[in-house]
Structure 1
Amino acid sequence: MKKQKTASPPTEEQKRTELEKIFELACKTASEFLKPFDMEKYRTVVAIDHEKLKTHENLIKEFLCFHFKLTLCKNKNGYFLIYFNYDEEAISKFGTRVFNQTLRALVAISAREKTSIDVQDRIRFATEPSDIHNFLWKRMIDKEKEFVVIKAIERDSA
Structure 2
Amino acid sequence: MKTQARAKAPKTQYVAITEDVQQVNKEVEKAYTLMVDAATNLLKRFDIAKFRTFALMDHTKNEQNTNLVKEFICYHWNITLSMSPKDGKFYIFIDLGHEAIEKFGSMLTNNLLRECYQLTQSNDNTIGIEYALRVNYLPADQLHNFYYRRIVEGETGYVSIGTVEKEAA
State TM-score, norm by structure 2: 0.81
Q: Does 1:141 align with 2:152?
A: yes
Q: Does 1:51 align with 2:65?
A: no
What is the alpha-carbon root mean square deviation over aligned residues?
2.0
Matching of residues 4-153 of structure 1 within 5 Å? 11-78=20-87, 79-113=89-123, 118-126=128-136, 128-130=137-139, 131-153=142-164
Q: Which structure 1 residue ranges, 4+ long, deviate > 6 Å from structure 2? A: none
**What amino acid is the match of 1:94?**
F
Rg comparison, structure with higher value:
2
Task: Please give the secondary structure, in 2, of the residue aligned with 1:61.
Answer: strand
Counterpart-to-counterpart distance in 2, 1:74 and 1:11: 15
User: Identity over aligned residues, as a percent?
Assistant: 32
Counterpart-to-counterpart distance in 1, 2:99 and 2:119: 26
Counterpart-to-counterpart distance in 2, 1:74 and 1:122: 10
Which structure 2 segments of 5+ residues have no match? 1-17
Task: Please give the secondary structure, in 1, of the residue aligned with 2:121.
Answer: coil
State TM-score, norm by structure 1: 0.86
After superposition, the C-alpha distances for 1:55-108 in whole angstroms (9 at most, x for unaligned) are 320000000000001000012423310001111111111111221011000011
Which structure 1 segments of 5+ residues have no match? 1-8
